[in-house]
Amino acid sequence: MPESNPTTVQLVEAVCAFLENDVMPSSQDRLAFDTRVAVNALKIVARELRLGASLDESEQQRLSGLLGQNGSLDALNDLLTAQINTGVLDSDTPDLMNHLYQTTMGKLQIDNPRYSTYKRLHDKGKNGDQGSLS
């Protein structure tokens, strides 16, 4: 796809600002509530557009290392869930837990970086791609 201006992120952020600054102050009750939820939804979209690709890439790299093979992200995750399901990998496997923490922290970074557990672990430095878990 050729590069467009404004970018997708900018378009989403423009709609987000419109809802927050123009629609929300003049609405009430159910409409005000749903507008706030809509703003949250668009903020998730904007964060995913910014971060999604690089988070996916590091997830795929970790999975390749953990499972000792290459493949698409979907295929590797299929294999991972199968290995967890059959008990080949479990919570005593440090590399597995390290991977799951980093992947889940990445999801929260998009879905809800204000979530208490995310903030607490983030402050403890338990999220980085350097990913040292102690």
Partner 1 sequence: MSPSTVELAKKLATLLSRHKGQRCEITQLVALSGGANNQTWRFSVPSSTGGGDNYILRLSSVQTDQGMTKEVEADIQRAAGAAHIPVAPVTWVLTPQDSIGSGYIMSLVEGETIPRKILRDEQYAQMRNQMAFSCGQHAARIHAIDPLKLAGLELMDVDTQISQYEEVYRGSGMRLPVIELALRWIHNNRPTPVPPQIVHGDYRNGNFIVGPEGIRAILDWELAHLGDPMEDLAWLCVNSWRYGNWDKPVGGFGQREDLFSGYETISGTPIDPCRVHFWEVMGTLKWGIMCMMMSASDEQSGPLAVERAVIGRRTSETELDLLELLTGDR
Q: Could you list the residues that contact partner 1 (CB under 8 A)?
A: 33-34, 37-38, 40-41, 44, 77-78, 80-81, 84-85, 87, 90-91, 97, 100-101, 103-105, 107-108, 111-112, 115-118, 120-121
Q: How far is the CB of 8 from partner 1 (least distance, A)?
A: 19
Interaxial angle between packed helices 29-67 and 8-18, expressed in degrees from 0 to 180 and rounded to the nearest 10: 150
Of the two residues 17 and 73, which places its CB atom closer to partner 1 in the complex?
Answer: 73
Q: Closest approach of Cβ 40 to partner 1, in Å?
A: 6
Alpha helix locations (H) across the chain?
8-18, 29-67, 73-85, 94-111, 116-123
Nearer to partner 1, 5 or 134 (CB): 134
Quick one: 26 or 85, whose CB is closer to partner 1? 85
Going by C-alpha positions, the residue among 95, 60, 98 that lies closest to residue 79 is: 60
Q: How far is CA 56 from the centre of its chain?
A: 9
CB of 3 to partner 1, least distance (A): 28
Show the CA angle centred on residue 6, arms to residues 129 and 34, nearest 5°: 75
CB of 133 to partner 1, least distance (A): 9
